[in-house]
Structures are given as C-alpha cells and as structure tokens.
Amino acid sequence: MIHKVLVANRGEIAIRVMRSCREMNIRSVAVFSEADRKSLHVRYADEAYCIGPAPSAESYLNMDKIIEVALETGVDAIHPGYGFLSENAEFARKCIEAGIIFIGPSPEAIALMGDKITARKTMIAAGVPVVPGTTNKITTEDEALKIVDEIGLPVMIKASAGGGGKGMRLVHQKEDVKSALGMARSEALSAFGDDSVYIEKYIESPHHIEFQIFGDQLGNVVHLFERECSVQRRHQKVVEETPSPNISPEIRAEMGAYAVRAAKAVGYYGAGTIEFIMDDESHYYFLEMNTRLQVEHPITERVVGIDLV
C-alpha cells in the first residue's frame, strides 16, 4: 500500500501527479531546485525539499540526492513524471535497490525500449511490423551506402539512444550520406553520450499514430486507443487528436493488437505509449516506445474517462 509519494519533477506534471495523490489520500513530497523555490508544485505538495542549484544536472537529474530525500522523508514510492529521469533505467534500478517503488516499468523494459536498435530487433522477433532498415549500428559511409542501395532513398539516419528529434538526418541523395552520417553521430554523442545510429526507410507524408497502453505485473496489457500526432515541426509534436480521423476501425483494431503485443514482448507494466508511422496506403510500422506517461495523455483521459495517473 502506498501512503506517500515523492514526485521527482516540476511544473505541470508534478502538479498533475500530486492532484491524483491528493484524491487518493496519498501524501506528496516535492523536490525543487533553488530557482524553483517559489514554484506552484512546491506550494501544492504536502512537503517540499530543495535538491540543488538551478542546473538540472545538479538538481532534477541528481539521482542520488533525490533518493536521499526519499529515504529521509520515508516515502513509499517515487513518480518520475515525464522528462528528466522518467526513462532512465539506472534511476529505476536505484529506486528499487533502495527499497522504494518506482512508479513506472521495470529497469529492464526501460533499457530495452530506450535503445532504438535493440527495440527494433525485439519487435521483429515479436512479429510486430517495423520500418525497413538496419538492426545494427552504422559507423561507416560504406555501411550506410549499402543499406541505402538495399532499401532505397530517401532514408532517415537516427540516433539509437535518441528522442525529441535530436540526432536525426534526412537523406534524399547518395552524395549527402557521408555528411549526414557524421552530423547525426556528432549530435547523438552531444545529446545522449552515445553516437550509435541506425538507418531506416523514410516514410514520406506519414501519419504518426500512438497507442496508449497499460500493463500490470501479471502480464496483462490493454490499450486505451490511439492519438494522432502527425502535425509536427522539427520532429516535435504540435497538435494531438483522438480518435484519429485517418484510420479505419479495422486498422485501429490491428494496430491496437500490435501495440499490446509489443508491450507484452518486453514484459511491460505501467503506462506507456507505442508509436506507429503509417504511409498513404495505410501500411503501418512500429516506430518506438515511450516508457512513461506522455505529455499528451490528457486527451486520452477526456475520451475514455479514466484518470491515467
């Protein structure tokens, strides 16, 4: 039974988690940087503690300090929110080792789906359709050109550890492969500390469809239907809507079943999102999994009438 939760985040998502805690008669503990001392989430929580200076690396990303506060305040669980440490397998593992419940999936599932190359291999093994491309990291121009010849242009070079549109380069011409590969690897190393990249076929004018899933620790997984997020700028979602106006009931059922299969393949529990990309002929492919509650979850709540937090 959970009686007290530390929310390892700030802003809207911290308030969102604390609101649900309050409705469930669970006490909430906020953490904050020196710059956020007067933030709303600090005032809203039952308890609040400073964990460091303004830079995130010294506060909201400081795993040991957050766990130290959690132990000192006697919380039963830590909710990571989204961003910061929410998809950090090491943090989830540290919580468990400290005897604290991590409100999210297992460290193993986070690590498995966080590495995009490993995730692609896992989905292929599970029979989930994936975008044509590589299942190993690409390090040389020759390797990249060989893949381009196999799957055809255009292609997308993507960071294996990536997200948020970073470490990605679109290639339309063979002569651009070398420079795009170098830039993608450099950006990936800078953003994620890992320069591993892979290549996949670029789906032109796609629909981006994501399925909200939930799993328990007994192996049961359900989906709560889809959200469409095709309107994007620089690979960042601008508009989300649900239900999607661009898929048929039959495609919705098929994609939902694949989303559940994907989650079961990694023993997933908690809230997560399986993302698909669909071309103009309604061929769809697994894109990636977000092993956390997403920013966009409220529109699903509005449709299904369930508090996802």
Catalytic positions? 292
First-last CA distance in the chain: 16
Separation of alpha carbons 232 and 185, rounded Å:
23
For residues 22 and 106, what is the distance between their CA atoms, to the nearest angstrom?
Answer: 25
Handedness of CA 169, 174, 177, 179 (dihedral sign): negative
List, as one string, the DSSP characters of 223-240. EEEEEEEEEEETTEEEEE
Q: State the greatest distance between any 2 C-alpha atoms of the chain, in Å, as a whole number.
A: 61
Residues sharing a CB contact under 8 Å with residue 182, sequence separation 6 or more, in sequence order: none
DSSP 45-104: SSEEEEEE-SSGGGTTT-HHHHHHHHHHHT-SEEE--SSTTTT-HHHHHHHHHTT-EESS
Q: What are 197's strand-pairing partners?
A: 159
Contact 26, 5 (CB under 8 A): yes
Q: CB 29: neighbour CB atoms within 10 A? A: 23
Q: Give the whole-angstrom CA distance, residue 169 versus residue 79.
A: 34
Q: Where are the alpha helices (DSSP H) in the chain?
A: 11-23, 40-44, 63-73, 89-97, 107-114, 116-125, 141-151, 177-192, 249-265, 297-304
